[in-house]
Amino acid sequence: MSEVYDIKKLRNIGFAAHIDAGKTTTTERVLFYTGRIHKIGEVDEGTTTTDWMVQEKERGITITSAAVTTYWKGHRINIIDTPGHVDFTIEVERSLRVLDGLIVIFSAVEGVEPQSETVWHQADKYLVPRIAFINKLDRIGADPFSVLEQMRNRLTIKTIFIQYPIGLENDFVGVVDLIEKKAYIWDIDEVGQQYRIEDIEFNDEHIKFYEDIVFNLAEIDENILNEYEKNFFVKPDLLKSALRKAVLELKLVPVLMGSALKNKAIQPLIDAIIDYLPSPLDLSSIEGIDILKNQTVFLNSSENESFCGLVFKVQVDPESLQELFYTRIYSGTIRVNQKILNVNTRQEQRITRIYLMHSNRKNTINEARAGEIVALVGLKNTLTGHTLSDISRPIKLKGLDYPEPVVSIAIEPKSNKDLEKLEEILKLMLDEDPSLKLKKDQETGQIVLSGMGELHLEIVVDRLNRDFKIPVRAGKPQVTYRETITNEVEIISEEEREIAGNKHYGKVKIRILPMERGTGNEYIIKPILNNDEFIKAIESAILEAFGYGPIAGYPIVDVKVEIEEIYINNYTTALGLRLAVLKGIRDGFRKANGILLEPVVQLEILIPSEFVGNITSDLSSRGGHLKSIEQYSPILQKIIATIPLRKIFGYATQLRSLSQGRASFWMKLSHFEPVEEGIVII
């Protein structure tokens, strides 16, 4: 296990999939066959390396992304295993922000499921090269050819088989490597460490998929077609070189297959990670802003450049309350006790520890270099999405986008003596998970926690009780609404106060306009000010006003605020302007015909055909809108519908009852729409 640093032989990759497609099981086999672990753990037994949390072991799902490092054929592979449940999509989002390559896993039985499709499009957003792995070829009903067809119909980048199965279901024993024209067969031992490699002759099916490879890669390298026309076979190295180029340019995605649970065809997948996914040097230079010169710069992945890295995850140790800051280093080198700059807060920091993580276990190292993913200790006031850089050359990288929470619960400690500790731990948990939001009612003192779904909040409450030893009570989940306006208004707002003997005055003219649904908020300060303190005060007031609507105190969305005029006199102060802007916007919201918006989810249900009528009738009674019913497999239909989130709480129980336990469902936030008249919001 070599620790020699060679950035060309470094791979930062992730595994992603829909829940229960076999992502963690596949990761576990990769760690085993590369020698990183010496015994295979199983999800059902709660013994896998990357699912280390108690909550993950009990539920058999991945909740938090875990980082591990392993080695294969002289290469170092940093792996992040991400969750497959939609409630934890922030974990996938922030992992994709810092990964160089991705393996998307599909079940050979279920095919392209909703979360795997979502992950695919998230990878599109971050321009992440990827390979696909069709898992569970040993299962009854396995059909990799159908999965390939679904991928080509639903996903954005063209996919091609580079392997062909040898048998299916109980007869699955291995794969044909179409590029090498060899059969890989696992029939020696159950652990899968030993396998046979045999030369083969292509049959008609093999030739069909081989020609698919050749003709697609001929667009990358014209020599391929010339060689094929001469010899009816192309040298593997020529195909691999062209395929690597196609993967890096996001033109093709190679599709491999196997059975992780049965320990078959994982080693060729590890080879594909080395062969086709990029090293940090293969990617474009990293774009950032030089904040001293206020200009765009591009960083190269080199240890000889000035240091720059992005904090993409914060993790809290429940015992010590120490925070680990997971950081992708994009350029330069960082060492223990080195002083660096948090560019977002403009604070100098000192790194006291650097860890190479193996799930929840820490391996201390003295330095880390460009391309590496490590955990840092010693940072203060540092959050997910913050940039760390060399003090002499502060470069700010693009941060992360966080999904807005849609479900809320009220929580309180069972004993008042724990209130202060609860608030302290919640603050740490918000640092750890940016998709959580916290609001405290100033009059009642009630703490309201908002998250991505019922499971998300259930996990938070469970961690408070068990990990942090704070007994809490939680209310029933409630929908987190939004507020917006329908009319345009113009307000002149004036505020004058005397505080501690000082007079504070502010007067502004404000225009407030509704925007198209889903566009978010926007603001502009039209007058040119040369006073940074005034500008910051106005911006602070606008952002605070967006956070609390006049109808029921929910966040304001899809609104534009324009500061038209600022009236300056001898008594104008930053505080005076802040108060005037805050008052003016709130008055404007009240006069602009505010309305409540509620979250609507898209629901996808897989159901045996005989229960379709029951399900559609129930959805109709709940106010759902049926979008489609399609044949998903020989025995299953897929129902797609939209429905207000408030009408779907506890739906899993009802669905089990209506389908005799044979249906499954998945949902994601679709959009916000006005609440129906007559609906009482508590």
What is 591-654 written as a DSSP string? HS-EEEEEEEEEEEEEEEGGGHHHHHHHHHHTT-EEEEEEE-SSSEEEEEEEEEGGG-TTHHHH
Could you report the per-residue pLDDT of 311-332, keeping only the tens digit for each? 988 888 777 778 889 999 999 9
| Confidence at 2, pLDDT banded by 50, 70, 90 | very low
Average pLDDT, integer, range 294-309: 90
Distance (Å, rounded) from C-alpha 165 to C-alpha 184?
10
The first and second tokens of residue 256, run together, are 């491999």
Is the pLDDT at 204 greater than 90, yes or no?
yes
- pLDDT attached to residue 404: 74
- Alpha helices (H) in 395-490, listed in sequence order: 419-432, 454-466
Distance (Å, rounded) from C-alpha 615 to C-alpha 239?
49
61 or 606: which leads in pLDDT: 606
Around 217, how many Cα atoms within 13 Å sit in the side-chain half-sphere? 31
- pLDDT attached to residue 662: 77
- pLDDT attached to residue 401: 74
CA 297 to chain centre: 26
Residue that is written with structure tokens 């890096």 in the block = 248
On average, the pLDDT of the chain sits at 87
Distance (Å, rounded) from C-alpha 78 to C-alpha 99?
9
| Confidence at 676, pLDDT banded by 50, 70, 90 | confident
Could you report the per-residue pLDDT of 105-161, keeping only the tens digit for each? 999 998 888 778 888 888 888 899 999 999 999 999 999 999 999 999 888 889 999
Is the pLDDT at 41 greater than 80, yes or no?
no
Average pLDDT, integer, range 7-20: 89
Distance (Å, rounded) from C-alpha 138 to C-alpha 494?
72
Number of other residues whose CB lies within 10 A of the CB of residue 208: 12
- pLDDT attached to residue 135: 96
- pLDDT attached to residue 1: 38
- pLDDT attached to residue 84: 56
Distance (Å, rounded) from C-alpha 397 to C-alpha 402?
16
Overall size of the chain counted in residues:
682
222 or 455: which leads in pLDDT: 222
Give the end-to-end CA distance of the chain in Å, rounded to a whole number.
59
303 or 274: which leads in pLDDT: 274
Is the pLDDT at 682 greater than 60, yes or no?
no
- pLDDT attached to residue 666: 75
Distance (Å, rounded) from C-alpha 641 to C-alpha 649?
15
- pLDDT attached to residue 681: 57
The first and second tokens of residue 259, run together, are 């059975």
